[in-house]
Structure 1
């Protein structure tokens, strides 16, 4: 119901109430409210990271770890990037755990990666603006993808003179 009301423009305030963890501040309520607005496409606050939930093809935690690293990195940089790279809050990144659903989801993101799943070759195709741009291999896939994301942001959202 909240989503329908917000999309219809009814109301101008969202209040989220959550039970906080013992000893923690109630700031998670604000984070959830912002995420609701962003999920509805009403406002963008941070780049979004889409990651697969995992299945029988994804027995490693590599895709989960990379998705968290990228999400944490993007959120950490946003106070600086918000002014330096206008529009970066609309960036969509996909971190997927296998080549079955990964390429499709990655093509719908601005930049995405499909990590190898169980029994798949140790290769990770990277998609930029819907097109396969390269394939990463080896032990440094996470570091290389991190650098690719940062470079993409600089090129796409950097000031043009």
Structure 2
């Protein structure tokens, strides 16, 4: 049995987990120094999103993984804000570290790619004042239901103690 501990991020009010990402198209190729790139994994944090059917990364991860954007496809996806056309890729590998120090592959067919930030013009009236300008929200990497289903594990969340884990 493998256990993946989740960490509660107080700032975002979300559960997170460390992951390793890789560019699948680079597996087995030699880099500029003649070394195999099988171990070219990038460490990052993903946030658990049980409302998302599609795991996604930001453009920051795309750049760090040197993904070829010309291979991206567009897929229409729905969310709280309605439907959007989202870029997707099949070239991202995901690995998780369990408590037993074993690496678990999450074999996803497709990963979403979204902007690093979302900007929106705002106009808010608060009393006699009107606030105008831009509101900016930083985007994060999301670990969706598709990834949980591929793992075949059980999600346990303890809201009172702000702890959680995935048991496989």
Q: TM-score surpassing 0.5?
A: no
Structure having the higher Rg: 2
Higher strand share: 2
**Bigger RCO of structures 1 and 2 (CA < 8 A, at least 6 apart):** 2
TM-score (normalizing by structure 1): 0.26
TM-score (normalizing by structure 2): 0.25
